[in-house]
Amino acid sequence: MKVLAVGGGAREHAIVAALARSDAQVFACLKNSNPGIARLAVEHLLVDEMDVPKVVGFAKMKGVDVAVIGPEAPLEAGLADELDRAGIPTASPKKAAARIETSKSFMRDLLSKHMVKGSIRYAIVEDLKGMERAIDELGTEIVVKPTGLTGGKGVKVFGEHMLSRKDVMDYANEIFSKNIGGTPKVVLEERLVGEEFTVQAFCDGKRVVPMPAVQDHKRAFEGDTGPNTGGMGSYSQKDGLLPFLRRNEYDDAVGIMESVVKALRKEGCEYRGTMYGQFMLTKSGPRVIEFNARFGDPEAMNVLSLLSGDFSEICEGMASGKVPKKEAVFAAKASVCKYVVPEGYGVKSLAGEEIRVDEQAITDEGALLYYANVNEKGGKVYTTTSRSVGVVGVAGEIEEAERIAEKAIGHVSGRIHVRHDIAKKAMLEAKVARMERIRSGAA
């Protein structure tokens, strides 16, 4: 099977690696020279992933059977739509369905209209007067988001990033004046208290085939402090749950995703592709934080490292409208991903610096390596403004998977930063204790 893969980050390296394990012939389109993808692909084209005509032209020229799109921006640009028009089935949603990610206002209104369980109180405003009225109604215990795409860095939470009503208004004014997110709208949401978790699923327009739950860590520094980032690392548990997540709560999250797929079908925009649901586990169960119209990053590295089925068959099934459930099988193991990022990531990344990656030593530690947004030149690897390398440990228990990942990242050097506390025993125990307090009403 010939598969087009679009994107050049660690998420896409994990996608391409899973396709290669399925004996697919991969043809890749990416804007950066990712050495991991370049080695695995039969052929790759360095191209702006938003250049839809060039990407479609490459896919047609290579005669690909199916396509999978990693990043969200090409989805908003209608790449899946144009590939479909060119006769290339795509295991990623078309522009209208991808609005569950590309428009936060569309997503919230969809959930409200179809009375999807897990919805929360929210308001959509277009000017500062509207902000004043919405704050009067919702209070200041809120989250403020631009409605469009911001690379996972546009969300501000009262009590963390904003400490007063004036701070809330100032951020809203910044969104309006700078057109952050590309649309002059702001979404205000009630602030939720609990533990965040992610469930990803293969969707074929009607069915949802879920993957193991994952918990990501957005903050740049240890102890969940510092600026928000695209994600510093993540972990999963061997039973598909998380230390603080119960089976019925996981099932409720999957049910919410099934309701969203049903709602989109009713709206005339059938969802085919990977869906990412980010939830807050509250005293009352899972509540929706957001949806992404693709794999998460880093969460893709966790689940695809565990996938034992044929990923190319799954992609073909998503694209054609019938996911083969027998292929969506994951090893009963834990996984821990830790990201290596440039110094300053989250504020001002140190780009263009060489990093040294001892691939053999990482393999010898029993870990998996995924190159992210780096550039290879003359046999050397250089940082960009985004994340650099993802390292994944896989083992029977989280503690051992974390140990493998921690040892492996020691074989990456340069002017880099790593969060070492992700999936450490003390952190996990604190999360379990906190969630028990929340369930009991003591927090």
Q: Which residues pair with 242 in a beta bridge?
A: 245
Nearest residue to 356 (alpha-carbon basis) of 328, 333, 337, 380 = 380
**Whole-angstrom distance, CA of residue 44 vs CA of residue 42:** 7
- The answer to whether 121 and 189 are in contact (CB under 8 A) is yes
- The answer to whether 240 and 200 are in contact (CB under 8 A) is no
Burial of 399 (0-12, 13-18, 19+ CB in 10 A): middle
Does residue 152 register a pLDDT over 70? no
Read off the pLDDT of residues 375-426 as tens digits, 9 standing for 90 and up. 999 999 999 999 999 999 999 999 999 999 999 999 999 999 999 999 999 9
Read off the pLDDT of residues 3-40 as tens digits, 9 standing for 90 and up. 999 999 999 999 999 999 999 999 999 999 999 999 99
Read off the pLDDT of residues 107-131 as tens digits, 9 standing for 90 and up. 999 999 999 999 999 999 999 999 9
* Least confident among 43-47, 176-180, 437-441: 176-180
Q: Which amino acid is at 324?
A: P
Burial of 39 (0-12, 13-18, 19+ CB in 10 A): middle
- The confidence score (pLDDT) of residue 182 equals 85
When comparing pLDDT for 181 and 237, which is higher?
237
Q: What is the mean pLDDT of residues 71-89?
A: 97
Does residue 153 register a pLDDT over 90? no
Q: What is the mean pLDDT of residues 201-215?
A: 98
Helix (H, G, I), strand (E, B) or coil at 167: helix
Q: In 63-164, which residue ranges form alpha helices assigned H by DSSP?
A: 73-76, 79-85, 99-102, 104-113, 128-138
**pLDDT band at residue 179, thresholds of 50, 70 and 90?**
confident
**pLDDT band at residue 198, thresholds of 50, 70 and 90?**
very high
Within the chain, what is the greatest distance between any pair of CA atoms?
Answer: 61
